[in-house]
Amino acid sequence: MAIVQDRTGVEELLVRASTPELRNEIEQMILRTGALLIGDHYVLKSGYHSDQFIRFSAIVKFPTHVKRLATALAEKLSSLAPDCVVVPNNAATVLGYELALQLHSKVAFVDLGAAGYPARFAPNFEVPPGERVVLLVDIVTTGQSLRCLDSLSSNAGLEVVAAAAFAERGMTEISQLDLSCPEENRFVLAKFKLNHWLGIPGVCDLCSQGIPVVSSMNLQA
Ligand SMILES: [Zn+2]
């Protein structure tokens, strides 16, 4: 495993951010925290394989970074005046807490199921029917975590007004997902272009070479 430590390396992989200033700040966050890993054979939660991984937990160890990212999201979401931010109980949790603070809303944590996807509201964090909620995740790969939050919220009678994420990693765009909220109310702060393959020898070069896999779930600690 290697950490991307040079700015050129980060610039190549970070293809877009919502503003030039934020792009610069996210580059610096990644360099300072060692959040971008390369040179191993990562199995993503989605089942895809990659030789590049963003470790969001490395970024959220720094409250100033969490505050900066939440501020950028709050600027986009505040006009919607949501009642609650719905966020999985993982590395995204503190971002959800800070976002709710800035939006003057509540926050609701969603516990993960065995596959690592949001499965049920945490005890005592159920949201009353009719409330307007924002769904938040850290990084969109296939969008499955957002879909889980969306169906959980819809089934609970909530109105999903927006969906947001720190970043997309280049496989699926948040705007293309089949979510309840309008396309114009979906926001990501950064877009990366990271490699990913189906985990099949011949499709994934690293599988073909017999390189042992590293589960991304173990890297978020
Ligand atoms: Zn592979």
What per-residue confidence (pLDDT) applies to 110?
A: 98
Q: How far is the CA of 206 from the centre of ligand 1 (A)?
A: 5
Q: How far is the CA of 177 from the centre of ligand 1 (A)?
A: 25
Domain count, the chain: 1
Q: How far is the CA of 101 from the centre of ligand 1 (A)?
A: 40
Domain that holds residue 42: 2-219
What per-residue confidence (pLDDT) applies to 8?
A: 87
Q: How far is the CA of 216 from the centre of ligand 1 (A)?
A: 13
Q: How far is the CA of 207 from the centre of ligand 1 (A)?
A: 4
Q: Can you say whether the dihedral through the CA atoms of 195, 200, 203, 204 is positive or negative?
A: positive
Q: According to the 3-state scheme, what is the secondary structure of the chain?
A: CEECCCHHHHHHHEEEECCHHHHHHHHHHHHHHCCEEEEEEEECCCCCEEEEEECHHHHHCCHHHHHHHHHHHHHHHHHHCCCEEEEECCCCHHHHHHHHHHHCCEEEEEEECCCCCEEEECCCCCCCCCCEEEEEEEEECCCHHHHHHHHHHHHCCCEEEEEEEEEECCCCCHHHCCCCCCHHHEEEEEEECCCCECCCECCEHHHHCCCCCEEHHHHCC
Q: How far is the CA of 199 from the centre of ligand 1 (A)?
A: 4
Q: How far is the CA of 52 from the centre of ligand 1 (A)?
A: 12
Q: Which regions of the chain are under pLDDT 70?
A: 220-221
What per-residue confidence (pLDDT) applies to 193?
A: 95
Q: How far is the CA of 144 from the centre of ligand 1 (A)?
A: 20
Mean pLDDT of the chain: 95
Q: Supply the CATH number for residue 151's domain.
A: 3.40.50.2020
Q: How far is the CA of 56 from the centre of ligand 1 (A)?
A: 22
Q: How far is the CA of 168 from the centre of ligand 1 (A)?
A: 21
Q: How far is the CA of 89 from the centre of ligand 1 (A)?
A: 27
